[in-house]
Structure 1
Amino acid sequence: MEDEKKSDVSVTATTTPVAAPTNAENLSSLKHADDARLAELGYRSEFKREFSLIETVAFAFSIMGVVASVSSTLSFGLVSGGHVGWVFGWLIPCLFVIPIAMCLAELTSSMPTSAGLYYFSAKLAPARHAALASWVTGWANITGQVALICSIDFTCAQMIVTAISVNSDGETNLSSAATYGILWAILISHGFVCSAATSVLARLNLAYVVINIGTTVAAIVALLVGAGDSKVSTRDAFTLFENNTGWANNGWAFLLSFTAPMWTLTGYDSAAHISEEVAGAARAAPIAILVGVGGTAALGWLLLIATSFSVTSIPALLESELPLPMGQVFLDVLGKRGMLAIWSFIIVVQYVTGAAQVVDASRTVFAFSRDDALPGSKWWRQINKSTRTPVNAVWLSVILSGIIGLFGFSEAALSSMAGAAVIGLYTSYATPILMRITSGHAVFVPGPFSLGRWATPVGTIAVAWVAFIVVLLMFPTASTVTAEEMNYSVVLIMAVFIFASLSWVLSARRWFKGPVRTVDDSNEK
């Protein structure tokens, strides 16, 4: 009996429930796993992992600023097809961007590091070409990142100029020089905001996404309700085509409307670039990419459909003297007070989008400098001891964007900057995807999110689309152009390409070996 009692006690003791881990303990364990995975990739953890899943999704969504981006780029569809240019000129590219987002989500899930795209290229390219693939991808990505900051903040400046013009009933129309001054003011303010600690940036993004989605929904409802009985018919809203490009071929003219969604749907690789600041990055980052792209594509299409129903005369809208035609749409539908009310929120959304892009670009600059790829890398890879963020990289991104802003004195400023951003970014997207489905197919190790057997067909579609869109965006928006109307995106892209190529041939090929390990292997467990 005594033995049986002892036995009973023993069983009771071993079956006593153990206290479940607290949320803090789970989070700490998750962050430790993230840092361990980062060490496996070759890098020492230097950031605080303050972004949660929801904050990472909010960041990826905010960087595309749907309502502000549509308002900035309405002119592309307006000229290249009118109603059809808006509705189908948005829908068709979005369907092809989704495969690209899926491929980047898979790559980020496998290798969650701020180095992102150029790291993917280095690891998936043939060993003898790894450094070159990394070099090309990194420079293309940084070019696109910086050009995107400038194009976002330039259109934010144009929005402010539009608001001033409407508020003064057209009596005050600021010059290009004044717009450039506003651009610098926005850029400098972004420099201060984006130098903040990661925890601050993460929390701000929750507010950002609420303003972004709320303003988009409000704009859709306002346009449909405000237009009342004056809306065009459903047939006209979806099928009325007007070619105002000067190109004789209507099909080619329609293709030029693709610039708007391609510019809007950029920057979603940001989830990869902040992955060293994300808890559970291998899962959170790919989710953020897919949700951000899908949500932006869907809401943008709905907004453009509402716009198409609201615009009764394409020729009248073309004659508007406002810098951004979307401002005229809101003015016609909502009147002066209504337009200024919703326009003020759109300006806030665009400002927030620019801030998110500065964060994204600075992490790319930091990572590329960490691998000694940029001139002055020792400065740009420094982490501020107080904020634990790459403050120097933030300000470099801001200054370079301000220099690119000189294109703002061209009549084709937006198309030039937008084209440069899209070409740079999508070239950097396509390169590792191409490596993934060719040389890297056998060595790729999937993360929690994987395309499996669909990787090759999806990747093939993605690469083919990028090849097509890069060529398309080098063309001017009109058939006959002057020096001021020229699409200068090719000038910016070629300038960087020539610099990077000469640097590689003359010097970098001898010392740049791709991603550099910053962890001490002897301390790894």
Structure 2
Amino acid sequence: MFITAAVLAEICSALPLSGSIYLWAAESAGPKHARFFGFLVAWWACTAWMTFTASNCQTTANYIVSQLAVWEVNFPGGVGNDNIQWRALIWAISEGMLLLSVAINYLPPKFYSGVFKFSIGLMMLDFFLCLIWLPIGVSKTYGFRSASDVFTMTYNGTGAPAAWNWLLSLLFTAGTLTGFDASGHIAEETKNASVVAAKGILSSAIATGVLGFITTILFLFCTPDLDTVFALDAPQPFVQIYALALGKKASIFMTVIAVVGLIMNTTVAIVASSRLVFAVARDGVLPLSGWIGAVDSKGQPRNAVTVIYIFAAALLCTIIPSQVAFTSLVSAGAAPTIAAYGLIALLRLTMTPNCFQSSHFKLGKYAKPFYVCAVLFNALVFAVDISPFEFPVTAQTFNFATVIFGAISIFAVLSWYFTPEEKWLRKDQILKAYETVDHPEDE
């Protein structure tokens, strides 16, 4: 993914525009096929980013309600997704978290820098507490796992063949393998965007990868034995692990940090997704594009933020009738993004390998090897994301990401076919951008 980030940074530097990822795909395809791939990735990206918002809110709710399991609070009907009262509680908390994150997005732009810095500070506090406090607590309670357990032990709870069971572990890190293109989506609001936005893609991917690797190894050493882990009944088992290692009261502190961090995470996701929706609407594709693509007196796309809120709030409502339905919807969140990463690399390799000379992050002699690597790796991750999570496959365990991704792609093709060229991504616009990034005015 570091290599994928480098591929995206190269094109982001040449095309630092809001809604960047679908424009990157369009220009990477060259003038002849630009509109088709632009439509395809626009649909993929909008679906993915708008679903991330709802998914984050439900994750936040899971941290909060898991404290009920820590303190052994009796809940009417019992704790579990088969209890409609329990699902209603998670839904209500999720909607509240969504409303709070959207409210932060309505703040004046001058507060955004503070919000971003606070988010980073809180996440680093969480990281260092896990790095220092958690191991101390584990050493005084149930003890560490052995190095043999951490590095050699496997467990197959999926029913998949051993090799594919191992590959399914990529699902655990799926959240950290995507989303680093966010800085490109707010490029038009970034000073010196051709350098800063592209650098943001690289630095966020590298920081997440390095710190995420350290965290994963740490958690493997600090996780209780499997019998204990499988006995944990909270929606977010780490809350109970904190309680086992640090004590019940300390688990509240760690939960609060996680919840506030997730609220900030959702806030940033809304910033990125609203700019993506704004850019697509500005080009005239979406219904009510004139309203969605408008900005307020401070140049902020508040109407696009409202659209994100309405979509995410409606998506969260599927929790009430069926947790499986909601999980199926959000399971498709990562797949379109991964597909877009791989597709852009493939188009750069096959269609425009020598273009975008205006980039400040040109890959030079490493370009084609990087493109090949990004295509192959993202293809593998995409295959994992849409594969069954359990075998044998039943109606209850079926991964609907394949159906959702297929439907999104069909809608994209239909909208490309029926949308007149003069309404979105006109050929003259594509050619102008294409010439600009290869022949910058200052050269």
Q: 1:254 aligns with which of 163, 166, 187?
A: 166
Superposition deviation, residue 353 in structure 1:
0.5
Q: Does residue 457 of structure 1 match 2:369?
A: yes
Work out which of the residue numbers 430, 436, 447 in structure 1 matches 2:342. Answer: 430
- Equivalent runs, 1:82-93 vs 2, <5 Å: none
What is the CA–CA distance in structure 1 between the aligned matches of 2:229 and 2:174, rounded to whole Å? 23
The reply to whether residue 178 of structure 1 matches residue 101 of structure 2 is no
SS at match of 1:113: coil
2:352 is matched with 440
- 1:240 corresponds to: 153
The partner residue of 2:182 within 270, 273, 297 is 270
Gaps of 5+ in 1: 1-96
Code of the aligned partner of 1:393: A
Alpha-carbon offset, residue 473 of structure 1: 1.2
Match for 2:409: what amino acid? F
Name the aligned partner's letter for residue 28 of structure 2. Answer: L
The residue number in structure 2 matching 1:290 is 202
> Structure 1 residue 201: deviation in Å?
1.1
**Residues 246 and 170 of structure 1, relative CA distance in 2, 3 Å threshold:** farther
Measure, in 2, the Cα distance between the counterparts of 1:413 and 1:156: 19
Aligned partner of residue 242 in structure 1, secondary structure:
coil
The one of 321, 327, 332 equivalent to 2:244 is 332
Q: In structure 2, what residue type is equivalent to 1:169?
A: E
The Cα shift of 1:407 comes to 4.8
For 2:426 and 2:45, locate their aligned partners in 1 and report how far apart those are by CA, in whole Å.
Answer: 15
Deviation (angstroms), 1:98:
1.2
Equivalent-residue separation in structure 1 for 2:172 and 2:276 (angstroms): 24
Q: Deviations over 1:355-395 (max 9, x none)?
A: 1000100000011111112222111110011x421011011
Q: Note closer, same or farther for the CA distance 1:515–1:331 as it changes in structure 2 (3 Å cut).
A: farther
Cα distance in 2 for partners of 1:412, 1:326 equals 22
Give yes or no for the alignment of 1:313 onto 2:225. yes
Residues 247-303 of structure 1, C-alpha deviations (whole Å, 9 max, x = no match)? 2x1211111110122222322111101111111111111221111111112222222
Paired residue secondary structure (2:33): helix
For 1:54-453, what aligned pairs fall within 5 Å after superposition?
97-166=1-70, 168-172=71-75, 173=79, 175-228=86-139, 230-247=143-160, 249-385=161-297, 387-408=298-319, 410-412=322-324, 416-417=328-329, 419-453=331-365
Q: CA deviation at 1:171?
A: 2.0
What is the percentage of aligned positions where both structures have the same residue? Answer: 26
Q: Distance in 2 between matches of 1:118 and 1:343?
A: 37
Q: Flag the 1:515–1:137 CA change in 2: closer, same or farther, 3 A.
A: farther
Q: State the Cα distance separating 1:499 from its structure 2 match.
A: 2.3
User: Once the 2 structures are TM-superposed, how far is the Cα of residue 485 of structure 1 from its aligned partner?
Assistant: 3.3
Change (3 A) 1:391 1:178: same
Judged with a 3 Å threshold, the aligned counterparts in structure 2 of structure 1 residues 460 and 357 are, in CA distance, closer, same or farther, namely same
Determine if contact 1:198/1:277 at 8 Å carries over to the other structure.
Answer: no
Q: Is the 8 A contact 1:317 1:328 kept in 2?
A: no
In 2, Cα distance between the equivalents of 1:507 and 1:281?
31
The 1:265/1:467 distance shift into structure 2, 3 A limit, reads closer
Aligned partners of 2:145 and 2:225 also within 8 Å: no
The 3 A distance-change label for structure 1 pair 152 and 516 is: farther
Q: Which amino acid aligns with 2:243?
A: L
> Quick check: 1:231–1:310 contact (8 Å CA) kept in 2?
yes
Cα-to-partner distance string for 1:194-215 (whole Å, 9 max, x where unaligned): 1223221122111111011111
Q: One-letter code of the match for 1:150?
A: A
Contact 1:106 1:446 in 2 (8 A): no
Measured in 2, the distance between the counterparts of 1:227 and 1:515 equals 61
CA offset at residue 481 of structure 1?
4.5
Q: Note the residue ranges of structure 2 that are not aligned, 5 or more in a row.
A: 80-84, 433-440
Residue pair 1:371, 1:516 contacting (<8 A) in 2 also: no
* Residue type at the aligned position of 1:502: L
CA distance 1:414–1:217, change in 2 (3 Å): farther
| Partner of residue 11, structure 1 | none
Contact 1:371 1:514 in 2 (8 A): no
Q: Is the 8 A contact 2:29 2:37 kept in 1?
A: yes
The question of whether the paired residues in 2 share the 8 Å contact of 1:125 and 1:439 is answered with yes
> Which stretch of the first structure deviates more once superposed, 134-143 or 493-502?
493-502
Residue by residue, what CA displacement relative to the aligned partner does 1:222-268 show, whole Å, maximum 9, x if unpaired?
Answer: 22111116112222122221111122x12111111101222223221
Provide the rounded CA distance (Å) in 2 between the counterparts of 1:184 and 1:352. 15
Contact 1:143/1:493 (8 A) holds in 2? no
Distance 1:176 1:488 in 2: 20
2 CA distance for matches of 1:276 and 1:128? Answer: 26
Q: Closer, same or farther in 2 for the Cα pair 1:406/1:255, shift >3 Å?
A: farther
The Cα offsets for residues 385-435 of structure 1, whole Å up to 9 and x where unpaired, read as 1x4210110111122122333454545568635531111112222222222
- Partner SS for 1:127: coil
Instruction: Give the whole-Å Cα distance in 1 for the aligned partners of 2:429 and 2:145.
Output: 60
RMSD over equivalenced CA pairs, Å: 2.4
Give the letter for the 1:433 counterpart.
A
How far, CA to CA, are the matches of 1:146 and 1:516 in structure 2?
30
Q: Give the number of aligned pairs.
A: 422
Amino acid at match of 1:390: P
The residue identity in structure 2 corresponding to 1:216 is F
Change in 2 beyond 3 A, CA 1:197/1:437? farther
> Deviation at 1:482?
4.2
CA displacement, residues 472-511 of structure 1 (integer Å, 9 cap, x when unaligned): 2112221134434332323332332232222233345674
For residues 134-162 of structure 1, the C-alpha deviation after alignment (integer angstroms, 9 at most, x for no partner) is: 11111111111111111111111111111
TM-score (norm 2): 0.89
